[in-house]
Structure 1
């Protein structure tokens, strides 16, 4: 890895070597990886140092003719489900071959830090702010030792795309703010103290905003998340909220480092997570999954002519064998392919929570049929499937 300095850098190097040994690939420096000429979903994906890429739950930033892949740096064993190193970064000019750029955001050794080693860092995404010249990293954060109770999002910034990123803050979004179009009569509606979960009465209360009310003062929960920068350079933070029952789309401030307080709810009580938003021919598409823990389920696709909605449910965009399990994966990002017409790649994770370092990547082409995105399985494929 690059930027290895002192003990921290040495530990990062050891982590890379351990990854190579555990996954049966060559140790860094013993052999150069043969150049990839396509994608093989679900197989080991070796970087240019012949080590399995370690960037789970990730996202892509295209900057200065180069793709940058940011993701969760995992380690072996169940402890690897917590952040032991931080957020990793890789670079590529062709999407096939990736160079390890090191740890972009390091966890802290300081006890009590929001990003203390052993916290949970998930689904990191980076966007570039043209006004400030800063690279802005957001991620889902759970505080060390608190399970998934904190339900925060966090932001870090850097002057260089590969980092190092400086942690700024963590928070729950939209503190004290009601979503767009929320009826006044529901803002003060009272609910029974102990509604039984999963009953029709409980679902109705969730739909109306039971958890929205509960979290208003401290800010809304934020877990699985995504960033999206629109054509007008407005940026949005899309996240699973209300105990993973409702997706929120929140507008970011002009510097991309905070929330304006403007946000909307998508399909309240719909139980959606793993959002991945993209735009095609003026239409917004949002992929998500159901909530079944680490186990895969059927993908869900939504469509809208405005990012604020209304959103239309389109069903599962996957077709073929194992489509009902999203080909044993969960969405994390949709990659627009530069220089290709109508070219987008579904970017998913095949989770292995007992040994998270061995998680695999499922990248598949999105093709448009009757103006709808469709995803089919390919054992192997390359970018020639798209029109130049």
Structure 2
């Protein structure tokens, strides 16, 4: 058997005419959708925000691909990632905001700590600097602050900020938590935060002119407790703060409430709930941004995997908030999608691979195997093959990718190629893995690949959609008896790409 490690599948750059594009949250059947970037890898940036700088959208979030797991003392910290987009549909992976693999950052953020979360970035017009705040639990303030010259970094850490709330508490405790950053029309910056010492009340503090620390001007206990994840924004002279109500780490389906004020420091109104379950997630942000020359207030929630071992599988809900004539926020409807206009030219550096309505799932291992048939469009050699996969739950054995001839979806004979994908070469998020089968194929003939593993612990995953109604006999199938028999899954297609030369 041959072992292959990940390679990069290069795509061409294409131009596209401007047209309406859908930002999708759910399928027509109401199932969650995994968002993929322009190279076909799952977007791995959670519990952060989408910011808008100079005509480009930037998604910031915590990465889970390396295997970070809350409350697992052996889990590494993966770092914070950013993605860029011109339309919030096609995303380009811009990499990590700073190097989190160092011993210092592992000691601050790995599984032996409470972790590090919630990257938020704002721009200081006066200093022409991008400012990053993250939530940590190794110091007194609960935050660390960075600066950079570009929205994607690299970000360089500055001194620890001074925060009025809990400034006399011991370091490395549960002092302050989830936060948000807001810049008012006059350039004044504010930090909205969660005060854990008062059981999760929301606090807002005015920032210094450079946005690197607090001023001590603060509004405390805006909520009564049991809340977190504030998002502060302004619309038509009214300030709003939304928040998770109640608080619940990594829970799927906490509520969203909000309050209003005429000043960021209050006084604040009574709270109103706009969603009982945040569309299946936990509130993460509300971002003020331009879409098609219109200002929208984009609400985001993290569709967590219920604190499962692999939160890299968590998805996203994004949709504009709507408002009544009196300025109150309308109850959320949890829409399946909303429209934007795609830019005339794709500037992401490569053509987007097929990613529509795919979902990531994992169950491959032991008696469970997955297969997919495909028909060769021309004769030649199957030189390059990319399959989307992942690992989940610490599998002990490698993943096997086998190729067969097939007819009407049924495997024929011995494998044409058997390729071992080492478990240590896979991450926890769904990513394309490229191999070189070098198998001779004939135009019009059907072939099948099988994903399997002898692991008795953990699983391997795949991405799929259930909209392949015109696939003929090129279907996905599942075996529950170690590959002895396969049952066709009608209209299902696994996510893969191939190149015949």
TM-score higher than 0.5 here?
yes
Aligned to 2:151: 161
Asked if the contact 2:124–2:130 (Cα under 8 Å) also holds between the matched residues in 1, the reply is yes
1:335 matches 2:291? no
Alpha-carbon spacing, 1:117–1:377, altered in 2? closer, same or farther (3 Å): closer
Aligned to 1:140: 135
CA distance in 2 between counterparts of 1:83 and 1:247 reads 30
Alpha-carbon spacing, 1:33–1:334, altered in 2? closer, same or farther (3 Å): farther
CA distance in 1 between counterparts of 2:170 and 2:201 reads 17
CA distance in 2 between counterparts of 1:229 and 1:349 reads 24
1:127 matches 2:107? no
1:174 matches 2:167? no
SS at match of 2:317: strand
**How far apart are 1:39 and its partner, in Å?**
1.6
Aligned to 1:312: 269
| Deviations, residues 327-382 of structure 1 (Å, cap 9, x unaligned) | 11111111223154452211110112321111101112211123222221112221
TM-score by length of 2: 0.57
Aligned to 1:373: 329
**How far apart are 1:69 and its partner, in Å?**
1.4
SS at match of 2:285: strand
**How far apart are 1:138 and its partner, in Å?**
0.1
SS at match of 1:154: strand
CA distance in 1 between counterparts of 2:124 and 2:280 reads 35
| Deviations, residues 24-74 of structure 1 (Å, cap 9, x unaligned) | xxx852768999921221311111111111110112222221111111111
CA distance in 2 between counterparts of 1:113 and 1:258 reads 24
Asked if the contact 1:74–1:80 (Cα under 8 Å) also holds between the matched residues in 2, the reply is no
CA distance in 2 between counterparts of 1:360 and 1:272 reads 22
Alpha-carbon spacing, 1:97–1:325, altered in 2? closer, same or farther (3 Å): same
Which of 191, 201, 205 is the equivalent residue of 1:250?
205
CA distance in 1 between counterparts of 2:63 and 2:13 reads 20
Asked if the contact 1:136–1:155 (Cα under 8 Å) also holds between the matched residues in 2, the reply is yes
Unaligned stretches of 5+ in structure 1? Answer: 1-13, 18-26, 144-148, 176-211, 319-323
Aligned to 1:349: 302
Larger radius of gyration: 2
Report the RMSD for the aligned CA atoms in angstroms.
3.0
| Deviations, residues 211-249 of structure 1 (Å, cap 9, x unaligned) | x6xx54669922001000111111111100143421111
TM-score by length of 1: 0.72
| Deviations, residues 121-173 of structure 1 (Å, cap 9, x unaligned) | 21100011111111110011123xxxxx9671111111222111112244562
SS at match of 1:231: coil
Larger RCO, structure (CA 8 Å, separation 6 or more) = 2
Which of 29, 46, 55 is the equivalent residue of 1:56?
46
Aligned to 2:240: 285
Asked if the contact 2:24–2:336 (Cα under 8 Å) also holds between the matched residues in 1, the reply is yes
Asked if the contact 1:74–1:83 (Cα under 8 Å) also holds between the matched residues in 2, the reply is no
SS at match of 1:84: coil
Q: Which has a greater percent of strand?
A: 2
Asked if the contact 1:303–1:312 (Cα under 8 Å) also holds between the matched residues in 2, the reply is yes
Asked if the contact 2:202–2:222 (Cα under 8 Å) also holds between the matched residues in 1, the reply is yes
Alpha-carbon spacing, 1:30–1:273, altered in 2? closer, same or farther (3 Å): same
Asked if the contact 1:266–1:311 (Cα under 8 Å) also holds between the matched residues in 2, the reply is no
